[in-house]
C-alpha cells in the first residue's frame, strides 16, 4: 500500500492577512511529503482521510482519492484529487498526478524514479502547482530510502512568513522493514519518516508509526514539525497527524 496524504495545509494561516492560505494535494507519500517514487497500482483506488491538529488549531479534514492509470511493469502513473473542508477557499478542491519508473527498470540496481505535480488549484490564491522529482531504493534489510527535489511554480505562495521567496527544497524519506505482528486485526507495523525542506507552508518533517490492519487498510499516527511556525495555525511549531488509508483492489480475486 502507498500512503496518500499530501492534502493537508489548507487555510492554515487564513487569519494572517499578509500570508496566503495554504493547500496541499495528495500524491502518494511516505509520511508528510511526496517523498516516494512509486505510483498507485492501475485500477486500484486509494482513499485517504487525513487530519492535522494541535492545541491552537489545525487544518481542514482532507478526503481524497488517488488511482493508478498505467498498467506497465516499468512505467506507471497515478492521478488524484483532494477535497479539504471546512474552509474558505472558493473550491477547496485540488488535483495531482505522477509518472513513475519502477525500481530496476533502467537497469539492474537502478532506483525507482517518480516525477509529478501536486496542489493544482483552480482559482487565484490556490494555484500552488508544486513540481517534484524523487528517486527511491529498496534496502537489503527491507523498507526503503528516497530523496529528491521540489519547485513551487507560484512565486507569491511559496514564501516565508517574512515574505522571502522559498520555492525550492529537498525531499527525503525512509520506511523501516516490516515489523510483523500477526495478530488478528493487526498484521504489521512500519516506522516511517520524511522531510520537506524550506521555510514555506510545506516545509516540515516528522516520523510516526503505520499500523497495517491488513493488506488494504492502515493507520498512520505521529507528530509533524514545521520549519516556519508563523505560517501554521496558531503559530504552532508542531501538530499531530492521524491518517487513514484504504486501498480497494476492485475485481481482483482473493489469493
Task: Please report whether residue 177 resides in a domain.
Answer: yes
Task: Please report whether residue 132 resides in a domain.
Answer: yes
pLDDT at 195: 98
Mean pLDDT, rounded, for 35-58? 95
pLDDT at 252: 66
**Domain residues for 139?**
3-247
| C-beta separation of 100 from 106 below 8 A | no
Task: Please report whether residue 253 resides in a domain.
Answer: no
Q: How many domains does the chain have?
A: 1
Q: Classify residue 86 as exposed, middle or buried by CB count within 10 Å of its CB (0-12, 13-18, 19+).
A: exposed
Task: Please report whether residue 80 resides in a domain.
Answer: yes
pLDDT of 32 strictly over 80: yes
Task: Please report whether residue 252 resides in a domain.
Answer: no
Band (pLDDT 50/70/90 cuts) for residue 3 is: low
CATH number of the CATH domain containing 23: 2.40.160.40
Mind listing the pLDDT tens digit for each residue in 190-238? Answer: 999 999 999 999 999 999 999 999 999 999 999 999 999 999 999 999 9
Rg (CA), the chain: 17
215: Cβ–Cβ under 8 A, 6 or more apart, which residues? Answer: 1, 187, 247
Amino acid at each position: 500500500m502507498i500512503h496518500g496524504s499530501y492534502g493537508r495545509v489548507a487555510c492554515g494561516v487564513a487569519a494572517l492577512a499578509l500570508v496566503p492560505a495554504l493547500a496541499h494535494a495528495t500524491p502518494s507519500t511516505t509520511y508528510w511529503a511526496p517523498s516516494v517514487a512509486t505510483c498507485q497500482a492501475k485500477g486500484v483506488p486509494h482513499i485517504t482521510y487525513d487530519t492535522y491538529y494541535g492545541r491552537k488549531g489545525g487544518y481542514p479534514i482532507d478526503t481524497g482519492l488517488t488511482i493508478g492509470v498505467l498498467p506497465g511493469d516499468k512505467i506507471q502513473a497515478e492521478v488524484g484529487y483532494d477535497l479539504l473542508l471546512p474552509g474558505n477557499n472558493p473550491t477547496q478542491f485540488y488535483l495531482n498526478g505522477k509518472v513513475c519508473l519502477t525500481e530496476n527498470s533502467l537497469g539492474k540496481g537502478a532506483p525507482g524514479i517518480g516525477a509529478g505535480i501536486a496542489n493544482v488549484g483552480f482559482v487565484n490564491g490556490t494555484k500552488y502547482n508544486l513540481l517534484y522529482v524523487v528517486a527511491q531504493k529498496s534496502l537489503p534489510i527491507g523498507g526503503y530510502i528516497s530523496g529528491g527535489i521540489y519547485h513551487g511554480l507560484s512565486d507569491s505562495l511559496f514564501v516565508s512568513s517574512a515574505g522571502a521567496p522559498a520555492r525550492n527544497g529537498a525531499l527525503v524519506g525512509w520506511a523501516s522493514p516490516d515489523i510483523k505482528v500477526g495478530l488478528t486485526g493487526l498484521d504489521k507495523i512500519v516506522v516511517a519518516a520524511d522531510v520537506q525542506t524550506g521555510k514555506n507552508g510545506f516545509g516540515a518533517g516528522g516520523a510516526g508509526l503505520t499500523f497495517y490492519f491488513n493488506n488494504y487498510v492502515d493507520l498512520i499516527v505521529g507528530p509533524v514539525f514545521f520549519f516556519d511556525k508563523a505560517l501554521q495555525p496558531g503559530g504552532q511549531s508542531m501538530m499531530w497527524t492521524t491518517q487513514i488509508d484504504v486501498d480497494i483492489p476492485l475485481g481482483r480475486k482473493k489469493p
